[in-house]
Structure formats: C-alpha cells, structure tokens
Amino acid sequence: MQEMPSLEVNLGPFKLQNPVLTASGTCGYGEELADWTDVGTLGALVCKTITRRPRSGNAAPRTCETSSGMLNAIGLQNVGIERFIEDKLPWLRARGFSLIVNIAGETVEDFAALASMLDREDGIDALELNISCPNVAHGLDFATDPVQARAVVEAVKKATVLPVIAKLSPNVTDIRPIAQAAEQGGADALSLTNTYVGMAIDIERRRPVISNVTGGLSGPAIKPLSLLAVYRCAQTVQIPLIGIGGIRCAADAIEYFLAGASAVQVGTATFVDPNAAVGVLEGIREYLTRHRISRIQDLIGALER
C-alpha cells in the first residue's frame, strides 16, 4: 500500500505541515472563516493586515466583481495592534493554528515597532510584511524601491526573532531587484504577489465603480502574471517563495510549485467557496498520490524546459 505523501515544507526556519495558506485580507482574523472550513488543516492562517492604530478604511463602495476576478480598495481597515493583541490573538492562540501575522506601517519605524510588540506574544509563528498595498497613500513606497525594501526588512529583523516574510508588489517594471533587496535585508521568504492596480467604470453614471477610483485586482485574471513573477524570482533569489494570485484548485497551486514556489496562499477563491483552501490541499494530496510523488518538495522548481 502506497504511503501518504509528505506535504511538509519550510519557509526558512518556519516549518509548515502543508503548503496551503490563507491570503491576508480574505479571512479576517480567522474567526470569520472558522465556522465554514477547518482552518486547522491548513499550513497556516495569514490574518488581515494589522497597523499601529485602528483604521476605518476607504469609503464604500470599495469592492466590485470583474469579469475574471475582483477589485478591492478596503484601505487596510483593521482594529489596530493593541486590540489585535487583546481581543483577537487569544482566540487564535487557543485554536492552536499556525499563525502568520500580516503587518503594515507608514514608516520603517512603524514596521519595527509592530514587529517588536508581536515578538513578545506567544502563538505567532511568522510575520508577513505588507509593503505592497496599492489602496492606501504611499502603500507601495517600500515595494517599488529596492533601498526602502531592504531598509524595512532589516529594521524588522532587528526587532524580532520571528521569521519574516516580505510581501511584494507586482506594480513595478521588474520585481527581481526588489526581491533581491528583501533577501539582502534578511527576509526568510517572499510572498508573490500582492494585487495589481486596476479600475472599473460605471458607464451609466460615468463614474468609477470604486470610490477610491482604483483598486487591487485579484483572482483568476492575475494568475499568469503572478506565476511569471514567481518563476523569475525563483531564478534570482535563494529564499523560499509563496505564490499568490488566482489559485482556485490544486492544478493552479501545482503550477506555482513547478515555477518555484514552496507554498501558496488562497484568497479571492474563498469569497466564492469558503472551503476553497481545504479543497486545494486535498487536490494536491491526490495529485501527489496519483503521480507516485512521495514529497511535495520534489515538485518545487521542477518545471522542465
């Protein structure tokens, strides 16, 4: 009888039981998704972005469906770091999920301060640095300049012993220099990619659909673009990569693995099917079994040319 394939992967010093994670901003703080799917079966929960102070986000309307995905301009609405630690983290800690906390700051000092506060808390396995949000003022500054990208990663690494994952923007001419800068700054892994800037227009009102005018495009439309970003960065950096963008099924995830990703995040698909991430995980296991592949690691970067 064939043994079950091993799904364990490493993101630097952070070991995952399997390579399927939630994507920040699509599952709240975990409670919102827990009634609909078994979050504990996933490699890790990535909670929505946390900032130093609470944020109410952008004015509505701030989401809209597109022909092959969705636009959002939520604007990093969140409860702030203090309430997250007091009200949200205890629930997460009690469930025992592998937890990656996504953080965002307006300055390098903000990122370092957030990392320092979370470094003192139990139940957190890694930090994901949102240096690439396209829906807030200056949200892309750190992800479009290699010098700033390296500076923020270096500051966070000095402030915490937790593994650090830099989430990069695709809204650049070439993502590879940014990836190299984050690696040089000490990042343990990279998340590729955040959303692409886009817009939609209501032709009857002749106005933008999103009150912010632009929003971040996610979903199936961006998968070929994010897949290419992963492939290119896999040829450029030595640290693990997390593929994000348009993953709806196991086949999508496996494309990312072959391109060089060690793990994937499932995001927009969760709005259609809250159990999507678990379905992706089950499909990966079935694929490995069917192809008699004993370890998921054997797929990573195994694209043939």
Residues marked active site are found at: 133
Judge if the upstream peptide bond of residue 51 is cis by omega within 30 degrees of 0.
no
β-strands 241-244, 263-266: how paired? Answer: parallel
- Beta carbons within 10 angstroms of residue 293's beta carbon: 15
**Residues 217/206, Cβ–Cβ less than 8 Å:** no
DSSP string, 74-118: ----B--HHHIIIIIHHHHHHHT--EEEEE--SSHHHHHHHHHHH
**Residues 210/60, Cβ–Cβ less than 8 Å:** no
Residues 168 and 180: their CA atoms lie apart, in Å, by 11
Handedness of CA 83, 84, 86, 92 (dihedral sign): positive
Question: Could you tell me which of 214, 208, 193 has the C-alpha nearest to residue 137?
Answer: 214
Question: Could you tell me which of 132, 160, 76 has the C-alpha nearest to residue 245?
Answer: 132
Name the packing angle between helices 176-184 and 146-159 (round to 10°).
30
**Residues 231/259, Cβ–Cβ less than 8 Å:** yes
Question: Could you tell me which of 226, 225, 202 has the C-alpha nearest to residue 213?
Answer: 202
Residues 196 and 215: their CA atoms lie apart, in Å, by 8
**Residues 247/253, Cβ–Cβ less than 8 Å:** yes
